A and B are shown apart, each in its own frame.
Chain A
């Protein structure tokens, strides 16, 4: 008995048991698990005070997920996904969650630095932003004045701007065009440019947006969707929706086993560079067995089934097995499954595209969706959906003289340029640079044969003045003459839209806190610089930069967007981060649902949307049905209906590419055997890969991510390793024609026996103390004192070894992509005197590689030999000219 409660213990427990049993029917309590909320609010665990929530668009990588920054006492203390964002639906990846560490990184460059010693000697003097922009403006003005004096607009192209990641919404082009320069060099050919050039001439856009969620069959080639491939976080969620929620089958091709292979129903490890042979064989089976969508091909493409059947004859499954190693019986089965399971889709990324002739491989994979009629279907292979924003008026006209820098005329089809060629063009005297500027770019680390960039930037005759806008001391920034640090992405304004979902969206990047410590965003630097280049406006340049600051510039970019103004315009975006709001994330299914709990469906069949009377006003219809207006194709007439069609000259999908054949390339997808396929038996193929918690180069100094992944041993198959006497963890020497590196072996079944794979993101020689593990090397110099993480929790002492320096330059003559996965190597146990981390490479060999890869271009002698099947007048190919195709 209890004096306060007159019942025996037995009786008490009985009461408790009964109460527990009926708890559900006793009604609601006011207490709920916090995790039931979908985000958007956060509280200080110490004070309980609600934190300020500011939406933004992520930019740790290129996927541009929506996020919410939580601010406490003026500091960003946490990031999470924006639940209003249709792409990432309230979730961020590990990189996104860690992004705020960039802001407070003690190795961040917080003030402009002026070089005082030799290039790369790390001798700097700090100066103010005002002094820095004055120096930059004077250098730019020198070039402009020389151009005026000599009446030669081409001189303006000596002002060069190179970027790695440009999410400025056209600001870089505005800046460069205002000064009359076209010398803008992107990074796309070290990324996925041959994928883009495999797709664009066929259907317009440069990428597909699969409806993973509703598909029943996904055939994925070389795209590690669950970890890193384009639209990583949104696509990973949608793929899981499809595979788990919709019971879709996933078949995956990749020489290396990543998480996508692990999720797949079937994983095949083909020989690198043979995805095209597999896709063509699948197409052959589908066509020969009449499993194709006859009506779609005849109505919506510029080829007939008969043409395709004839073209595909050589590509038997047995041929594909010989090339790829994937059994013919599996290829046949997969072809039948893919064609008969509806809806179905393919997806591909760098695996097929990053080879010499990668454009053909992408085109072959794309064709599978076309011949099976899966294009623009629910659950199928869809066009990407994005939204546009503007550059404010007045806009500077495009510069007068095209530039060949990073866009050599030998590659007229490479619409995303060939940036890898830039240093060689300058070293050979073909192009000249007076002022070189870089933004979010680190080629000394990220490019193939990266030592060539190092040599270029150290040469003050070739690069007389180099200004970096990097907020971090990267391997490239440390070679600059002047660094005017940008802010991080959380302290900057940009407009955004990315086709990461089938429901299009507009977003903003805004300053979630004021730029830390009085730093300034790049837009402000450019406004100030241009006001100094043209102080009285007499050059006509200042008018394009009549903004108070970066925010005013970006605000103006959202003027005139239909529907946005009615919802509150730019201020709506500042409050919500993304527009429009499609619905809310369902707490159980994680799908975006409306008020009634129904999933908000995207629109499908975009190509079949009928054109309005206003659209047709003034339009003419060509013999092939193309609807033309203002010199452009705006749609296609099919069966008497005027429809939007595809972004090609005919308005149909052009599997037969006129642009390709013009330069002697096969207009239809073909397979070209690569030199790496003919390697000697003791040789291997080197591939690289990105890991799920790092970008290529910018995240190694973030402690959350560095702890998760910080070293990159070479993946090697047990049989391959055993044949060389190599055990797991052994020191090995990896040798290519360019040089060698000394690293360690990671012996695993998860890699093709003919392949060695080494990840990027590790092995920095710059980029801060964690990236370099400096606190391990020179304790006193890099001491951070009492920081518990750096001092006590950095348990690793291996920063990895970066492979790019020994990777051979070799580009796709069509799309211009670097053949990242075409380098032939030998692997041995380390030799006497080899030390972990040794890397040696030859500039002379790389220059010869440049000359060799030019031989594959349409102007080169190897081109015709590799395209004997193309019936054209080989003696009268178009003359190369600068600006063709760009």
Chain B
């Protein structure tokens, strides 16, 4: 490979990494916090067309409604979907253990620390294993990889790539696509429904590229997990249950 060819390939990788960082930033931002004025403006302008091409038609009320009303509406939907009791909890700990802030949270935080990041909450009740934060971490790793490539540090770029892929396979791949499906099915506003659907698709695409077929099947099974309905046996106790 000539130097020119290598340069071109590197440039392409940088571009691709930047693009992936952008996508994951968008997905992470959508799920991590309520939309604000700046984000709404981006959705209405720069992001509108690319999102449509990715299969996310932004709903009319979001595109044309008065900003304050739209943001209020989205904030209520966000709280009901991800924050208030009874919500689809966006935390790995809850998904895996049924309780907040358990070992998955520490584990994910360890990933952040190892990569030179520090988790700082903006509001109470936030933990490192939030879906949005984890996707934001993927974005940050893509971005870091691009930075490494830009400064010609191929070794560091490779290390970052390996870290990203491992993080996706070990911490994200086993539950987030399935979680996105469940969350999308109960979202009350089409914006979140479609963005959750997009998140699931993007992730699965990403996983398909990095996971060997056998591992991919395992991930598919893990993401198909549904709460089992266990019926109580009438033989088990008296009919009154006491």
- A73-B106, A516-B101, A790-B98 are contacts. A785–B179 as well, Cβ < 8 Å? yes
Interface presence of B76 (CB below 8 A): yes
Give chain B nearest CB distance to A734 CB in angstroms: 14
In the bound complex, do residue B242 and residue A713 qualify as a contact, i.e. CB atoms below 8 Å apart? yes
Q: Which residues of A contact B185 (CB under 8 A)?
A: 780
In the bound complex, do residue B124 and residue A518 qualify as a contact, i.e. CB atoms below 8 Å apart? yes
Classify chain B: how many residues form its interface, as a range. 35 or more
Interface presence of B208 (CB below 8 A): no
Give chain A nearest CB distance to B98 CB in angstroms: 3
In the bound complex, do residue A517 and residue B101 qualify as a contact, i.e. CB atoms below 8 Å apart? yes
The complex places the Cα of A791 from the Cα of B175 at a distance, in Å, of: 15
Q: Which residues of B contact A520 (CB under 8 A)?
A: 124
In the bound complex, do residue B100 and residue A785 qualify as a contact, i.e. CB atoms below 8 Å apart? no
4 nearest A-B pairs in the assembled complex, by CB-CB distance: A110-B125, A729-B239, A787-B98, A104-B99
Interface presence of B113 (CB below 8 A): no
Interface presence of B39 (CB below 8 A): no
Q: Pick from A104, A125, A779, A795 the residue with the most CB of B within 10 Å.
A: A125
In the bound complex, do residue B85 and residue A768 qualify as a contact, i.e. CB atoms below 8 Å apart? yes
A126-144 CB mask vs B (1 if < 8 Å, else 0) is: 1011000000000000000
In the bound complex, do residue B106 and residue A780 qualify as a contact, i.e. CB atoms below 8 Å apart? no
The complex places the Cα of A75 from the Cα of B231 at a distance, in Å, of: 33
Stretch at the interface among A186-194, A681-689, A740-748: A740-748
B64-106 CB mask vs A (1 if < 8 Å, else 0) is: 0000000010011011100111101101001111111111001
Q: Which of B86, B91, B239, B242 contacts A107 (CB 8 A)?
A: B86
In the bound complex, do residue A124 and residue B94 qualify as a contact, i.e. CB atoms below 8 Å apart? no
Interface presence of A866 (CB below 8 A): no
Can you give 13 A-B contacts (C-beta < 8 A)? Answer: A73-B103, A104-B101, A110-B100, A111-B123, A122-B80, A125-B34, A128-B124, A473-B86, A746-B240, A746-B241, A781-B86, A783-B88, A786-B222
Number of A residues whose C-beta is below 8 Å from B?
Answer: 65
In the bound complex, do residue B125 and residue A517 qualify as a contact, i.e. CB atoms below 8 Å apart? yes
Q: Which of A72-128 contact B (CB under 8 A)?
A: 73-75, 101, 104-113, 116-117, 122-126, 128
Give chain A nearest CB distance to B139 CB in angstroms: 23
Q: Which of B183-242 contact A (CB under 8 A)?
A: 185-186, 222, 225-232, 238-242
Q: Smallest CB-CB separation from A791: which chain B residue?
A: B227
- Which B residues fall within an 8 A CB radius of A? 34, 72, 75-76, 78-80, 83-86, 88-89, 91, 94-103, 106, 121, 123-127, 175, 178-179, 182, 185-186, 222, 225-232, 238-242
In the bound complex, do residue A746 and residue B242 qualify as a contact, i.e. CB atoms below 8 Å apart? yes
Q: Which residues of B contact A519 (CB under 8 A)?
A: 124-125
- A516-B101, A728-B238, A790-B98 are contacts. A780–B89 as well, Cβ < 8 Å? no
In the bound complex, do residue A790 and residue B227 qualify as a contact, i.e. CB atoms below 8 Å apart? yes
Q: Which residues of B contact A852 (CB under 8 A)?
A: none
In the bound complex, do residue B89 and residue A106 qualify as a contact, i.e. CB atoms below 8 Å apart? yes
- A73-B106, A124-B76, A745-B240 are contacts. A783–B84 as well, Cβ < 8 Å? no
Interface presence of A784 (CB below 8 A): yes
In the bound complex, do residue B80 and residue A124 qualify as a contact, i.e. CB atoms below 8 Å apart? yes
Interface presence of A309 (CB below 8 A): no
- A768-B85, A780-B185 are contacts. A797–B232 as well, Cβ < 8 Å? yes
The complex places the Cα of A784 from the Cα of B85 at a distance, in Å, of: 13
Give chain A nearest CB distance to B179 CB in angstroms: 7
Q: Smallest CB-CB separation from A517: which chain B residue?
A: B125
Q: Which of A775-802 contact B (CB under 8 A)?
A: 775-776, 779-798
Q: Which of A793-816 contact B (CB under 8 A)?
A: 793-798
Q: Which residues of A contact B239 (CB under 8 A)?
A: 728-729, 744
In the bound complex, do residue A780 and residue B182 qualify as a contact, i.e. CB atoms below 8 Å apart? yes
Q: Which residues of A contact B225 (CB under 8 A)?
A: 785-786, 791
In the bound complex, do residue B231 and residue A797 qualify as a contact, i.e. CB atoms below 8 Å apart? yes
Q: Which residues of B contact A703 (CB under 8 A)?
A: 98
Interface presence of A591 (CB below 8 A): no
In the bound complex, do residue B96 and residue A787 qualify as a contact, i.e. CB atoms below 8 Å apart? yes
Q: Smallest CB-CB separation from A127: which chain B residue?
A: B123
Give chain B nearest CB distance to A623 CB in angstroms: 60
In the bound complex, do residue B76 and residue A116 qualify as a contact, i.e. CB atoms below 8 Å apart? yes
Interface presence of A774 (CB below 8 A): yes
Q: Which residues of B contact A746 (CB under 8 A)?
A: 238, 240-242
Q: Which of B102, B230, B238 contacts A104 (CB 8 A)?
A: B102
Give chain B nearest CB distance to A272 CB in angstroms: 21
Q: Which of B91, B100, B222 contacts A105 (CB 8 A)?
A: B100
In the bound complex, do residue B76 and residue A123 qualify as a contact, i.e. CB atoms below 8 Å apart? yes
Interface presence of A711 (CB below 8 A): yes
Q: Which of B80, B175, B178 contacts A123 (CB 8 A)?
A: B80
Q: Smallest CB-CB separation from A785: which chain B residue?
A: B95
- A107-B86, A123-B76, A784-B89 are contacts. A711–B241 as well, Cβ < 8 Å? yes
In the bound complex, do residue B100 and residue A784 qualify as a contact, i.e. CB atoms below 8 Å apart? no
The complex places the Cα of A74 from the Cα of B76 at a distance, in Å, of: 32
Q: Smallest CB-CB separation from A131: which chain B residue?
A: B123
Q: Smallest CB-CB separation from B95: which chain A residue?
A: A785
| Besides A110-B100, A111-B124, A517-B101, 4 new A-B residue pairs in contact (Cβ under 8 A), listed by A number | A126-B84, A518-B125, A782-B227, A785-B225
- A116-B72, A785-B96, A797-B232 are contacts. A126–B123 as well, Cβ < 8 Å? yes
